[in-house]
Amino acid sequence: MEELPVPEPGPGEVLIKVRACGVCHSDLHLAEGDWDQLKPITKLPLVLGHEVTGTVERVGEGVTDLAVGDRVGVPWLHWTCGECEYCREGREVLCGKQMITGVTVDGGYAEFLRAKASHAAKLPAALSFAEAAPLLCAGLTVYRALKSAGLAAGKRVAVFGVGGLGHLAIQIIKARGAVPIAVDMAEDKLALACELGAAHTINVGGPENPRKVMRALGGAHIVMVTSGSKAAYETALGCVRKGGTLAVVGMPPEPVPVSMVALVAGEIRLVASAVGTREDLRELLDLAATGAVRCRIETLPLEEAAAALARVKRAAVTGRLVLVNE
């Protein structure tokens, strides 16, 4: 822990008093330098954290949409240009000039954060700061993946990995009138999935073959993999029905072999999701405000950030950890 100067908001910026910040597995990857693609653009030294919620403390010149005291969230997507081809297409997550919270600029493992007013989202009154924080990345990522995969009422959707992302995906699927199917190797996580509304559960470590179980159910219209396991992807592809979609969210450290014959023969689509846009985030927050989506959280004081990351590394977390500033 270090003492840093309180940032000054510039034109178009706000100073946020941080109330909560989710602890994401991406923070651990960044801290340990696992992602070669992000190394060249990572600010050093760096304050981590991209699931940030708090109140506006000061506003910079030209800010009109936010005022002191507003409750806001700052996600991974810190700023985008609004002018490039991807931004004009509504795919700002692919903006080549984007700034990333907790990567290219300092994040929310701190008491104060400077953010772009244009990309800070107002939080619904129904959500506490700690409840809202994980939705800004974990919830947003699976929401966009499901949306891109064509989530609709009546579709069977299998979620591989009922962790921090997967347990939110189960709730989103149910809220949209689709049929959630939970796949994991931990009975406690499958029990949580049932509690959250999963219609079926499959234990990949059990005696039954997950592919046979899924085929008996008719196959999944959408299979989402939130796990970073190579084996999960190899099994997941065999669970997609013909004409279905494999939604890629989890990132294994090694390449995953995919049968082109299986893809072609089944006309299976692959859809990947890199967090989400501001529009996606507004939609998710509105859904969460109804009570249909609630993240299972455990709060810790900011001073325990290092211990929180150590628990993430050991996979000793159910739901999501959130650092709070009281």
166-175 and 138-148 are packed helices; what angle lies between their axes, rounded to 10 degrees?
A: 50
User: How far from each other are the two terminal CA atoms of the chain, in whole angstroms?
Assistant: 17
Name the residue among 17, 25, 76 with its Cα closest to residue 51: 76
Residues of the chain with CATH 3.40.50.720: 139-272
CB-hemisphere CA count at 13 Å for 10? 1
pTM of the complete model: 0.95
Residue 114, CA atoms < 13 Å, CB-side half-sphere: 15
Q: Taking the domain 13-136+277-324, which CATH number applies? A: 3.90.180.10
> How is residue 171 annotated by DSSP?
H
With CA atoms as reference, report the closest residue to 49 among 254, 317, 300: 300
Percent of the chain with pLDDT over 90: 89
pLDDT tens digits for 192-213?
999 999 999 999 988 889 999 9
| 118 contacts 76 by C-beta, under 8 angstroms | no
Fold of 139-272: Rossmann fold (3.40.50)
Residue 253: pLDDT band (50, 70, 90) is confident
**265-272 average pLDDT score:** 95
pLDDT per residue over 143-195, tens digit each?
Answer: 999 999 999 999 999 999 999 999 999 999 999 999 999 999 999 999 999 99
107: alpha, beta or left? (left if phi > 0; alpha if psi -120 to 50): beta
Q: Which residues of the chain form CATH 3.90.180.10? A: 13-136+277-324
